[in-house]
Amino acid sequence: MTRTVPGIDHLLSDPANYLRGQSLGLIVNHTSLADDGRHSIAHISSQTAFTLRALFAPEHGLHGTAQDMDAVASEVDPLSGLEIKSLYGESKDSLIPAPRSLEGIDNLVFDIQDIGSRYYTFIYTMANCMTVCRQTGTRMVVCDRPNPINGTTVEGNLVRENCRSFVGQYPLPNRLGMTAGELARLFNDHFGIHCDLKVVPMTGWNREAWFDQTGLIWTPPSPNMPTLATATVYPGMCLIEGTLLSEGRGTTLPFEQIGAPFIDLHKLAARLEKDSRLLPGVYFRPQYFKPMFHKHAGEVCAGLQFHIIDRDRFKPLLTTIAFLRAIVEIHPDEWQWRTEPYEFVSDRPAIDLLYGNSELRETLLEPDFSLEELENSWKEELESFLPVRQEYLIY
């Protein structure tokens, strides 16, 4: 196995090739580790060729301790003594750094581990910072890291304009098959940000590799992304956030076990078995669990745990929608979509923002709903995206 060396190591070994001027800011969190396991802040702070002047942190904070949609306050980094400016605060405006925060900064460096799904907000923090860099004339430097669920598989539909949000800021599929560096190139050129962008590539990574084949140490990117298995199911199971079902938050298996107190778990498992021909690579196991916090906290939930037995064939999005359809059929009276505001949006249902349009919500209850027809509709949408994606691949 060839070991993957992340972009931050190449930036540190040859800064003159990527940086201009002598000052920089860092957009980082707890995943921002060089190949030796030391944090990017420690490495950058010890350099003499340039000066670290600012720190920015995405959703969940610098240390990755804040729960989903919890506002993160600015704080002081004990390692560098610098203020950590939060890019996930109390309002939508907090998601974009103020241009004045980049005064005196020649380079803004993004070094965060993404997970390969369009709902995950780190890539939009990156895009928002790129937009401000264009305004201020700051160079944006993206240190690339692996797509942990491989860089070849793409699944899903594209986000329509009326459903754009911080979980879908651009018309991307649910499962991207791209790295953060490749997305930065796509955002900058195809989607028209046009900042001064430099991507620092990895070495030793191939597109077919999963994270456990890179030789790198898995650092949970957020509190409910504990393992690679979680990231594997997430491109589909994140849709559960648009419902009142528990997505397993408050348990040790977030997104891998889904349920609610009212579910007949044996009927549910039997119903999904009927769709097994369309849902390869996964075993559905009836499961009871009790979330310690979040939806249905303290209640025993009945549902399923999704055991991935062939991750290369598994279809997370189609599997999740099959799961939702089965619950709608078995429990039509108890079933509910989420209606509370979601990711700073209150005028559209969360499920529409997550799925990318209103069609899933509007058709899931129809008696002639077809998984096969739905999957075919994604393929039609991807016909326009895949050739564009191909232009921005690095590896």
- Per-10-residue mean pLDDT, the chain, length 395: 92 95 96 95 90 96 91 89 94 95 97 98 98 98 98 98 97 98 98 98 97 96 97 98 98 98 96 94 97 97 97 98 97 95 96 98 94 95 96 98
Q: What is the residue-wise DSSP string for 258-308?
A: EEETT--HHHHHHHHHTTGGGSTTEEEEEEEE--SSSTTTTS-EEEEEEEE
What residue spans in the chain does CATH classification 3.90.1150.140 cover? 228-364
Q: Do residues 126 and 179 lie in contact, with contact meaning Cβ atoms separated by under 8 Å?
A: no
- Report yes or no: 243 and 354 within 8 Å, Cβ to Cβ: no
CATH of domain 7-217: 3.40.50.12170
* All CATH 3.40.50.12170 domain ranges in the chain, comma separated: 7-217
How is the beta sheet containing 83-86 ordered, strand by strand?
75-76, 83-86, 51-57, 23-28, 107-111, 139-143, 196-200
Rounded Cα–Cα distance for residues 360 and 349 (Å): 11
pLDDT at 339: 96
Say whether domain 228-364 belongs to CATH 2.60.120.380: no
| Positive or negative: CA dihedral 230, 234, 238, 240 | negative
**Residue 1: its pLDDT value, please?**
67
Spell out a b/e string for 177-216, using b for 16 or more CB atoms within 10 Å of the CB, else e: bbbbbbbbbbbbeebebebebbbbbbebbebebbbebbeb
pLDDT at 163: 97
